[in-house]
């Protein structure tokens, strides 16, 4: 059985994995760069080892991470999300060294990470996909020819892309000419591949994804869907489970499609199948993420299933703890990504020292974070510093709880997206659950919120100033 896991990641997801290990009686090993020496995941793991002074190189060196897993006596490695989590070489390196990779095998990661290959796999499985180039584009002239066949608008995407990077909407030939070299450059820098492809742009769709779990015994289930339509420049901000916009029939349809997709490629472990839902209520396969998602938390809240625990059990060769009939959903959950950004200044990153932090509480409130009072947020990584997750029996109660919890958070010293989210939660579209991916772009006024501080924020700031002056 798995007795020791190296967590090949950092931040809140590394803390999340360490907590799951502790509950399962498994020892956890953290890794950290010099910039992360005082990070919370280093404190939470049973052991921690330095990756050196470079803030990124260690986290991105698959062979070094696997060598460290072997040297520290680990049985398995959990990649978290981001960094090397969807890099087939990390999974392959684990396999070569006898370390269990907590995720799908290298070949599945490669196939589903290549967006054109993933499209072909889903077409073969009978899933609906958006019209597009059925292979990588040769050059700009090829792109122009394909776009002429598909019809504008089109989405120009990096074949190996993800996380909202390497993607541009092109509404005309001029847009495509202007963006082609940019996307190729982004793809090369971010993913090490210059390959790009085209898809028909589904205008103002809803972004719906399904959490799946599959074991090595041929069992696969879904944990219902998540609505990720509140996003900015293809980066998710607020996620909801289940979607308040789907009918029960649609929910059953998309869940069945996701399980079919997973089984068709021999998928194992946790994954997410992402779809677009157009105005005519047609689902289109978009991509499959072969890893744990940032927003896995809300699927856990509505089903009561610990997804990280299931990941570890699957990697250990055990069957799923649940059959599809055992999976019941209850209520609604909302996750709000608290980013260290200034919405009033075009979401400029706001890294720095947190002078005061305390998490909200109360029924149905969960905070996944790796920050604490005095923590210095380094400028080298993603701007997300915490995830606020709320659950309630009804949609209205969940929205009200989210608003209350956002007001309860004490987070001083940096700018965050908290006040921006409070404005979003006030809107009629959000309260009625009638929004799509155009929501943020069509509501620029929401970033013009009042900067007036709350009374307890002022008190906290004064207390911090007094303590600093007194040398406390």
- Orientation of helix 106-113 relative to helix 115-125, angle to 10°: 100
Which run of H or of E encompasses 398? helix 395-408
CA distances from 36 to 11, 48, 58, 72 (A): 9, 11, 12, 20
- Core vs surface per residue 5-31: b (16+ CB within 10 A) or e: bbbbbbbbbbbbbbebbeebebbbbbb
Can you name the residues that pair with 4 across neighbouring β-strands?
A: 27
Which of the residues 16, 100, 291, 415 is marked catalytic?
A: 291
Catalytic, 177? Answer no
Burial classification of residue 155, based on how many CB atoms lie within 10 Å of its CB (0-12 exposed, 13-18 middle, 19 or more buried)? buried
Within 164-252, strands assigned E span 165-170, 196-200, 206-214, 220-232, 235-241
- Gap between the Cα atoms of 91 and 84, Å rounded: 9
Q: Please spell the DSSP secondary structure of 190-214, one letter per residue.
A: HHS---EEEEE--SS-EEEEEEEEE
Tell me the torsion sign for CA atoms 271, 276, 277, 282: negative
Q: Tell which residue, 160, 128, 127, 155, has the closest CA to residue 143.
A: 155
Which run of H or of E encompasses 276? strand 269-277
- Orientation of helix 307-315 relative to helix 11-24, angle to 10°: 70
- Orientation of helix 88-96 relative to helix 106-113, angle to 10°: 170
For residues 412 and 358, is the Cβ–Cβ distance under 8 A? no
Tell me the torsion sign for CA atoms 463, 465, 469, 472: positive
For residues 208 and 243, is the Cβ–Cβ distance under 8 A? yes
Catalytic residues: 291
């Amino acid at each position: 059985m798995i007795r020791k896991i190296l967590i090949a990641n950092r931040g809140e997801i590394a803390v999340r994995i360490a907590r799951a290990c502790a509950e399962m009686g498994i020892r956890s090993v953290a890794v950290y760069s010099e910039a992360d020496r005082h990070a919370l995941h280093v404190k939470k793991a049973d052991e921690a080892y330095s990756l050196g002074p470079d803030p990124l190189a260690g986290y991105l060196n698959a062979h070094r991470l696997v060598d460290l897993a072997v040297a520290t006596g680990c049985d398995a490695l959990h990649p978290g999300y981001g960094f090397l989590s969807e890099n087939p070489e990390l999974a392959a390196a684990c396999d070569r060294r006898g370390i269990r990779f907590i995720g799908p095998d290298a070949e599945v990661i490669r196939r589903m990470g290549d967006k054109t290959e993933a499209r072909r796999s889903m077409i073969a499985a009978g899933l609906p996909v958006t019209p597009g180039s059925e292979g990588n584009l040769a050059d700009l002239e090829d792109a122009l020819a394909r776009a002429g066949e598909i019809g504008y608008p089109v989405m120009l995407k990096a074949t190996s892309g993800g996380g909202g990077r390497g993607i541009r909407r092109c509404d005309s030939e001029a847009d495509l000419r202007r963006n082609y070299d940019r996307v190729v450059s982004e793809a090369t820098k971010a993913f090490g591949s210059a390959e790009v492809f085209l898809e028909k742009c589904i205008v103002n769709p809803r972004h719906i994804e399904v959490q799946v779990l599959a074991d090595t015994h041929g069992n696969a289930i879904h944990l219902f869907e998540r609505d990720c339509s509140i996003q900015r420049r293809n980066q998710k901000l607020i996620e909801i489970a289940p979607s308040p916009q789907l009918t029960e029939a649609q929910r059953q349809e998309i869940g069945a499609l996701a399980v079919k997709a997973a089984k068709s490629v021999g998928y194992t472990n946790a994954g997410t199948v992402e779809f677009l839902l157009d105005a005519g209520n047609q689902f289109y396969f978009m991509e499959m993420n072969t890893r744990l998602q940032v927003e896995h938390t809300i699927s856990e809240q509505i089903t009561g299933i610990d997804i990280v625990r299931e990941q570890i059990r699957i990697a250990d060769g055990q069957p799923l703890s649940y059959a599809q009939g055992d999976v019941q959903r209850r209520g609604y959950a909302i996750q709000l990504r608290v980013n260290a950004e200034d919405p009033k200044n075009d979401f400029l990153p706001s890294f720095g020292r947190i002078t005061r932090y305390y998490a909200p509480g109360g029924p149905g409130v969960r905070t996944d974070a790796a920050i604490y009072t005095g923590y210095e947020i380094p400028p080298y990584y993603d701007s997300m510093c915490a995830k606020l997750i709320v659950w309630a029996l009804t949609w209205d109660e969940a929205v009200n709880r989210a608003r209350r919890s956002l007001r309860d958070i004490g987070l001083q010293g940096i700018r965050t997206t908290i006040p921006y989210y409070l404005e979003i939660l006030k809107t009629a579209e959000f309260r009625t659950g009638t929004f799509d991916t155009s929501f943020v772009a069509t509501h620029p006024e929401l970033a013009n919120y009042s900067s007036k501080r709350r009374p307890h924020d002022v008190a906290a700031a004064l207390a911090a100033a007094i303590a600093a002056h007194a040398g406390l």
